[in-house]
Amino acid sequence: MERDDMIDFKALEKELQAAIAADEKYQRENAAKLRAVEQRVPSYEEFRGIVLASHLKPLERKDKLERKRTVLWNSHATRGKTFQDVTTELSQEKAPFQPENSAEFYRDWRRHLRSGLERYQTLLQLGGTKLGHLFQTDVGFGLLGELLVTLADHVMPSDRAVVLEILHSLANTGRFTLNLSLLSQVERESCQSLFQKLQAMGDARCMQEGLSGEKLREERLLQELLGLYGIY
């Protein structure tokens, strides 16, 4: 076979890969458009944002950062320690969750905080003021629902004041009303459940301790939040 008649398999493979990629992009963006229409996105800006973000995928196990392995160079030194002691020491080595902006929060929230309890404790650690600063522009598509579900699943009576402050800060972030309208049915039910729990906690506390100035402020804040979150 002459050299000019030889088939360029590499070129054909490149063309095939490009065609497959183009088809996948079309299918992905088309599916995103259908989702946006189903969600009744109120503006073209939000519609366009959903389509442009259609290539993003949820993180998988392989995306986790590799944890450092602890090598016991002196096994005799650890013989007297219990499993709980070793677990405590390892947990103390974990770097604290200290995002500087909403992008860092979203990245680390998805990568490193896998359990609901971890996420809840992180929200309490950051507090309403820090969260309000991080999400001043926008909480981000889909994240508000995750935050509400986390709070609803783990809220404790002792954390009531902090949780109310967190909810107040989130309600004052950019495009809050829009993000609230995009909650799924499950997320809406969690939001409803969260406020029911907060209300019940407040009622029980007032019955036991009476209504002081601080508790009165909490109750007023709760009533304000009920309106902001559309809980009637």
Residues 26-53 have pLDDT tens digits of 777 777 777 767 777 666 666 666 666 6
Residues 204 and 103 in one domain: yes
pTM: 0.59
Q: How many domains does the chain have?
A: 2
State the residue range of the domain holding 159.
Answer: 97-228
In a domain, 78, yes or no: no
Summarize the confidence of residues 133-161 as an average pLDDT.
92
In a domain, 134, yes or no: yes
Please state, in angstroms and rounded to a whole number, the distance separating the CA atoms of residues 4 and 88: 70
Residues 114 and 210 in one domain: yes
Q: Which of 76-90, 116-130, 137-151 has the highest mean pLDDT?
A: 116-130
Please state, in angstroms and rounded to a whole number, the distance separating the CA atoms of residues 220 and 165: 12
Residues 190-206 have pLDDT tens digits of 999 999 999 999 887 77
Q: Which of 47-51, 64-68, 139-143, 160-164 has the highest mean pLDDT?
A: 160-164
b (16+ CB within 10 A) / e for 173-207:
bebbebbbebbeeebbebbbbbbebbeebbeebee
How far, in whole angstroms, is CA 111 from its chain's centroid? 10
b (16+ CB within 10 A) / e for 15-53:
eeeeeeeeeeeeeeeeebeeebeeeebeeeebbeebbee
In a domain, 193, yes or no: yes
Please state, in angstroms and rounded to a whole number, the distance separating the CA atoms of residues 161 and 61: 35
What confidence tier does 54 reach under pLDDT thresholds 50, 70, 90? low
